[in-house]
Amino acid sequence: MHFDERPSCFHNFAHEILYVSVISCAQLLTQAALGNVLVPLHIIGPSIGIEDPAKLPWTLAAYSLTVGIFILVTGRLGDIFGHRLLLIIGFMIFSIFSLLVGMSVYVKNDIYFDVMRACQGIGPATLLPNAIALLARTYPTGMRKSFVFSMFGATAPTGFILGALFGSIFAQLSWWPWAQWILAIFCTFLAILAYFIIPQELSSAVHPTGKTDILGTIIGLSGLVLFIYCWNEGPVTGWDKLYVYILLIVKPIMPLSIWSVKGFPGVLTSMALGWSSFGIFVYYIVQFLQVIRGASPLLTTAMMSPVIISGLIATISVSQLYDRLPAHFLLMEL
């Protein structure tokens, strides 16, 4: 593998490694915050007052909801105010609400926990698009950029397993809130490190005079919130509840004309089916291992750990093939 020249914004190879590591932690910690609650969920749930297992999915859905929704806005804010600034803010939001999620052990209220988890998700939603933008601005098209982006992608399964590991260790052997509090400390450390490590050349905004569609943002975000809320609430309370299906249809989130764009329906359908089935699979495989087979959180983590290897192989393979095969063929292979 022949790499092109290192970008001039780096002082040396160590600076580049540290920069890519800090940026990649945006992806790693996003998945870690999912794993450190999902795998030890049956320990965390009773400790915060959740007795009904039907309410457990909301502890995860609240986090995923804001991660998926606010990512549409924070990338644009990064273009206007600077991706470096938004990355630092993202780490701080992640830190503050990770601290407050851990405090739910004292509040002992599932609503409080779900709200704090939703606010926690705004941190990763701020981090991810701005981290990707920073990498894209740093590296010109070439093998070096492909490799860096593949490593960034590979941190997703690694982050999930690391989060599950530390969350399970603290939940089983100590006290589960420490997993959240250590995450908060680490995010604060990364925010400080990002301030010094990210080159000054990348501090400027791409579109400093740009504007945001505030009304469109409010309508779009509220529509997505209600859409996801209904699909999570329906199985819990029952689809016969009037408010569930009314909220599902009153908030259109895109113009119907977009469905006439060539290729859009197929791409959207593929992505929707892929991600929706992935989330359901991950949740229920953990339930199967723990509820049906009686595995502990730590044993569950060990059983799922091979995804680190498969994820690394997948991302490196795509990095080598993306300029040789059409995107739809790569999507089919994955």
The answer to whether residue 89 scores a pLDDT higher than 90 is: yes
pTM (2 d.p.): 0.85
Report the chain's C-alpha Rg in angstroms. Answer: 20
Q: How many residues does the chain have?
A: 334
In a domain? residue 185? yes
**Quick one: pLDDT band at residue 96, thresholds 50, 70, 90?**
very high
The answer to whether residue 107 scores a pLDDT higher than 70 is: yes
In a domain? residue 280? no
CATH number of the domain that 100 lies in?
1.20.1250.20
Q: Measure CA 221 to chain center.
A: 17
In a domain? residue 265? no
The answer to whether residue 333 scores a pLDDT higher than 80 is: no
**Quick one: pLDDT band at residue 261, thresholds 50, 70, 90?**
confident
Looking at the structure of the chain, the number of domains it has is 1
Average pLDDT over residues 264-269: 72
Give the dihedral sign, CA 78/83/84/89.
positive
Question: Per residue in 8-56, pLDDT tens?
Answer: 889 899 999 999 999 999 999 999 999 999 999 999 999 998 888 878 8
Question: What pLDDT sits at residue 32?
Answer: 96
In a domain? residue 77? yes
Q: What are phi and psi of 207, to 5 degrees?
A: -130, 70
Q: Please, what is the Cα angle at 63 between 57 and 65, to 5 degrees? A: 90
Q: What distances in angstroms separate CA 59 from CA 39, 48, 173, 329, one per listed residue?
A: 12, 11, 22, 36
- Rounded Cα distance between 77 and 83, Å, is 8
Question: Which residues have a Cβ under 8 Å from the Cβ of 270 and sit 6 or more positions away?
Answer: 331
In a domain? residue 285? no
Average pLDDT over residues 127-148: 89
Q: What distances in angstroms separate CA 309 from CA 22, 102, 277, one per listed residue?
A: 21, 31, 21
Question: Per residue in 138-175, pLDDT tens?
Answer: 998 888 888 888 888 889 999 999 999 999 999 999 99
In a domain? residue 258? no
In a domain? residue 318? yes
The answer to whether residue 298 scores a pLDDT higher than 90 is: yes
Q: Are 87 and 194 in contact (CB under 8 A)?
A: yes
**Quick one: pLDDT band at residue 291, thresholds 50, 70, 90?**
very high
- Rounded Cα distance between 194 and 188, Å, is 10
> How many other CB atoms sit within 10 Å of the CB of residue 201?
12
The answer to whether residue 7 scores a pLDDT higher than 70 is: yes
The single-letter code of the amino acid at 214 is I
The single-letter code of the amino acid at 261 is V
Residue of 50 and 88 predicted with greater confidence? 88
Domain that holds residue 328: 13-212+295-333
Look at 108-117, 142-151, 321-330 and tell me which has the smallest mean pLDDT: 321-330
Two tokens, residue 327: 């995107």
In a domain? residue 65? yes
Question: What pLDDT sits at residue 42?
Answer: 94
Average pLDDT over the chain, rounded to an integer = 85
For the chain, what percent of residues have pLDDT higher than 90?
A: 47
Look at 108-117, 186-195, 318-327 and tell me which has the smallest mean pLDDT: 318-327
- Rounded Cα distance between 168 and 298, Å, is 5
Start-to-end CA span in the chain (Å)? 23
Question: What pLDDT sits at residue 326?
Answer: 60
